[in-house]
Every structure is written in structure tokens, then in C-alpha cells.
Amino acid sequence: MLGKLNHVAIAVPDLEKASALYRDTLGAKVSAPQALPEHGVTVVFIELDNTKVELLEPLGEGSPIAGFLSKNPDGGMHHICYEVADIMAARDRLKADGARILGDGKPKIGAHGKPVLFLHPKDFAGTLVELEQV
């Protein structure tokens, strides 16, 4: 079911500062910030040869990232994203196997313009998992 690793997401309290660290200190290519109001975040992507790192900053009062940062004020790994060929088939198989899909179970459009779903971290070794259809 799983395809390639799409990205690892890191929640940060200051997106501009974190972007500068990756760009200026590590010499990485960093995308322009992209606001995703439906997800409550602003993101940038750090492009690597074999994958991406996504930096997330809270956007708005109800941002799930704000809650994460209240527990981890310096930031930290938030989730890992894997590619799947058919997100609905993956969702249905996971639900049949007892995995919990976060939200209403319907895919939302993610930062790459593709459908995404999130899986409950308690079902996946304490890690929030994002699935993205390719």
C-alpha cells in the first residue's frame, strides 16, 4: 500500500527563522511560504534529492500546530507523510483493519494540491502519519 516517503514535517514556532536556518546554515533550497487555512498552518518545503522536509507554523487560533507547540515550545517532528496510489482504497483498508482516520475521514487537499488523510498516532507507534495520493 505505501509508496515513497513524501516528507517529514517539523512544527516550528517561527517559520522565517527556521527557513533561514535551513537555507543559510545548511544551504538547502527552501520554497516560499504557503498558507493552508483549511489545515491551520503555513508551510515551506525544503527540497532534498530524495524527499522533502516540511516546516509548519500555526495559522489562526484553531491551529493544531499551536497545541503541539504549547507542549513542545522549541518545535519538533510533527508527522511523516507517505505516498499512496489510491487514498480511498488505503483509507478503507486501514479502517477495516481498525486504524483511526482523523477528522471526518474524507480526504482534504494538502500543500501539494493532492488529497491527504491523517492517521491517529496511537495506531502507528506514536507517530502521526499523513497519506498523500500520488
How many other C-beta atoms can be found within 10 angstroms of the C-beta atom of residue 36?
Answer: 15
Q: Buried b / exposed e across 49-79, counting CB within 10 Å, b at 16+?
A: eeebbbbbbbbeeebbbbebbeeeeebeebb
Q: What is the pLDDT of residue 70?
A: 95
pTM of the model: 0.94
Q: What is the pLDDT of residue 74?
A: 96
Do residues 22 and 28 lie in contact, with contact meaning Cβ atoms separated by under 8 Å?
yes
Q: What is the pLDDT of residue 61?
A: 80
List, by residue number, the catalytic residues.
130
pLDDT digits (tens, 9 = 90+) for 76-111: 999 999 999 999 999 999 999 999 999 999 999 999
pLDDT digits (tens, 9 = 90+) for 22-76: 999 999 999 999 999 999 999 999 999 999 999 999 998 889 999 999 999 999 9
CATH code, residues 2-133: 3.10.180.10
